[in-house]
């Protein structure tokens, strides 16, 4: 999250079209749903309608689309034909998942697209498309908007794309009563927004919204439970929001929210062991494998660790490599480092 004082400074830079701030921030405009670079020539929005982001990816994940005028995803005057074609294709059909054959149809080589996007935007084309899709799907969760169906079909230039993006990931809104309904809420944290999914009795998922593979995780959960996910609130979501806020402020690092763990007996065994790692400490994959009595199952432990859907609460971030290197983290290694440092500091 960007602080108020920083936002005010950014807003001044925006009014002055200050090119010193190029690449430092992006601004999302709530009234139009577009995001811009600081020097955009378009009429400037009011401060209260601005939302500032450090990266273009964050703006995409918050459901903003790139401004046509200032083209925040390109260096000025340096947009290749390949990139232009692909950006246009995404806006026409944001829920699409891209296969090699789709690139061929547009006469574009997928490796070229990948390389060019990475070079220009610091993310591959597939990551860009996914961020845009997730942003659209998560928009109503962010806004806590309960009314899905009617609202999805109005107010968007690509309403069918938006509806598809939401229902493909979150499940079609329920049409009859005996449908399992899970509620999803958006939680802002110091390390970026998280999504929480729960029913009335427990929490199923807590993840950073830009986590690698989140989309498939949500789908898997939904299909397994034959559920639809709608934006909303319940006691469990209120509780986890409260606890996560306390965790980040350092007031209390412990969680009591009831959990539903969806996984195989082996995965559950690993997750249970993870929860025994004391706050502020780390273990290696090998340590965990030994503790569950399967010292040779290091790789399976690492996999089970990676499939954890309850970030922070089930502390998969406390598992590091045997050589003391951090190892991977689906939410990004920078976050892993932050969480470990935070826990160590607070536990002292």
Q: Give 59 or 67: the residue with its C-beta nearer to Zn ion.
A: 67
Give the DSSP letter string of 85-150: HHHHHHHHSTTPPP-HHHHHHTT--HHHHHHHHHHHHSS-HHHHHHHHHHHHHHHHHHHT----HH
**Residue among 13, 27, 36, 60 that touches Zn ion (CB under 5 A):** 36
CA geometry: angle at 299 spanning 192 and 308, to 5°?
30
List strand residue ranges (DSSP E) for 101-202, in order.
180-187, 194-198
User: Bridge partners of 186?
Assistant: 195
Instruction: Please report how close the Cβ of residue 67 comes to Zn ion at its closest, in angstroms.
Output: 3
Listed in sequence order, the residues at least 6 apart from 237 whose beta carbon sits closer than 8 Å to its beta carbon are: 183, 185, 196, 198, 203
Listed ranges 66-74, 120-128, 202-210, 270-278: which one lies at the site for Zn ion (CB under 5 A): 66-74
Q: In the block, which residue shows the tokens 């790139």?
A: 66
Q: Give 59 or 136: the residue with its C-beta nearer to Zn ion.
A: 59
d(CA 117, CA 125): 5
Nearest to 216 by CA among 307, 129, 93, 87: 307
| Residues in 146-165 that interact with Zn ion by CB under 5 A | none
Is 119 a binding residue for Zn ion by CB under 5 A? The answer is no
Residue of 36, 40, 67, 316 with catalytic role: 316
Is 169 a binding residue for Zn ion by CB under 5 A? The answer is no
Listed ranges 28-36, 105-113, 217-225, 332-340: which one lies at the site for Zn ion (CB under 5 A): 28-36
Phi, psi (deg, nearest 5) at residue 287: -55, -45
**Residue among 70, 196, 214, 228 that touches Zn ion (CB under 5 A):** 70
What one-character DSSP code corresponds to residue 259?
B
Is 67 a binding residue for Zn ion by CB under 5 A? The answer is yes
Number of residues that bind Zn ion (CB under 5 A): 6
Residue 40 falls in the annotated catalytic set = no
Is 87 a binding residue for Zn ion by CB under 5 A? The answer is no
Is 63 a binding residue for Zn ion by CB under 5 A? The answer is no
- Within 13 Å and on the Cβ side, how many CA atoms surround 316? 24
Q: Give 29 or 229: the residue with its C-beta nearer to Zn ion.
A: 29
Is 129 a binding residue for Zn ion by CB under 5 A? The answer is no
Nearest to 203 by CA among 195, 211, 191: 195
Instruction: Please report how close the Cβ of residue 171 comes to Zn ion at its closest, in angstroms.
Output: 34
What one-character DSSP code corresponds to residue 310?
B
Other Cβ atoms less than 10 A from the Cβ of 145: the count is 14
d(CA 15, CA 319): 46
Listed ranges 32-40, 166-174, 206-214, 247-255: which one lies at the site for Zn ion (CB under 5 A): 32-40
Other Cβ atoms less than 10 A from the Cβ of 91: the count is 15
Q: Give 36 or 138: the residue with its C-beta nearer to Zn ion.
A: 36
Instruction: Please report how close the Cβ of residue 181 comes to Zn ion at its closest, in angstroms.
Output: 39
Q: Give 40 or 141: the residue with its C-beta nearer to Zn ion.
A: 40
Give how far Cα 135 sits from Cα of 1, 87, 142, 198, Å: 16, 15, 9, 20
**Residue among 69, 224, 276, 296 that touches Zn ion (CB under 5 A):** 69
**223 membership: H or E segment, kind and range:** helix 214-225
Instruction: Please report how close the Cβ of residue 66 comes to Zn ion at its closest, in angstroms.
Output: 8
User: Bridge partners of 46?
Assistant: none
Listed ranges 6-14, 39-47, 117-125, 181-189: which one lies at the site for Zn ion (CB under 5 A): 39-47
Instruction: Please report how close the Cβ of residue 5 comes to Zn ion at its closest, in angstroms.
Output: 24
| Residues in 289-328 that interact with Zn ion by CB under 5 A | none
Listed ranges 70-78, 84-92, 212-220, 299-307: which one lies at the site for Zn ion (CB under 5 A): 70-78
Binding site for Zn ion (CB under 5 A): 36, 40, 42, 67, 69-70
Catalytic residue positions?
316
């Amino acid at each position: 999250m960007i602080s108020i004082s920083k936002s005010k400074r950014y807003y001044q830079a925006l009014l002055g079209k200050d090119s010193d701030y190029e690449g430092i921030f992006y601004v999302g405009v709530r009234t139009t749903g577009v995001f811009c670079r600081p020097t955009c020539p378009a009429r400037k929005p009011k401060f209260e309608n601005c939302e500032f982001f450090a990266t273009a990816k964050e703006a995409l994940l918050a459901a903003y689309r790139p401004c046509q005028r200032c083209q925040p995803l390109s260096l000025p005057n340096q947009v290749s034909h390949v990139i232009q074609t692909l950006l246009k294709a995404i806006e026409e059909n944001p829920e699409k998942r891209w296969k090699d054959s789709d690139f061929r149809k547009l006469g574009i080589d997928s490796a070229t697209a990948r390389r060019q996007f990475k070079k220009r935007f610091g993310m591959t084309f597939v990551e860009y498309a996914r961020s845009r899709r997730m942003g659209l799907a998560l928009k109503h969760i962010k806004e806590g908007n309960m009314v899905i169906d009617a609202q999805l079909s109005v107010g968007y230039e690509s309403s069918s794309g938006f509806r598809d993006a939401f229902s493909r990931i979150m499940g079609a809104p329920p049409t009859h009563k005996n449908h399992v309904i899970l509620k999803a809420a958006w939680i802002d944290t110091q390390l970026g927004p998280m999504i929480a999914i729960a029913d009335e009795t427990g929490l199923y998922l807590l993840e950073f919204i830009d986590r690698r593979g989140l989309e498939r995780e949500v789908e898997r959960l939904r299909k397994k439970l034959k559920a639809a996910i709608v934006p909303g609130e319940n006691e469990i979501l209120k509780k986890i929001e409260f606890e996560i806020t306390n965790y980040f402020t350092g007031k209390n690092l412990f969680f009591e929210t009831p959990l539903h763990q969806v996984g195989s007996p082996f995965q559950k065994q690993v997750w249970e062991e993870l929860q025994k790692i004391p706050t502020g400490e780390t273990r290696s994959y090998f340590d965990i494998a030994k503790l569950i009595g399967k010292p040779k199952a290091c790789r399976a432990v690492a996999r089970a660790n990676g499939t954890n859907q309850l970030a922070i609460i089930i502390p998969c971030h406390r598992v590091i490599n045997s050589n003391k290197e951090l190892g991977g983290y689906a939410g990004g290694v920078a976050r892993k480092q932050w969480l470990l440092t935070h826990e160590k500091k607070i536990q002292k």
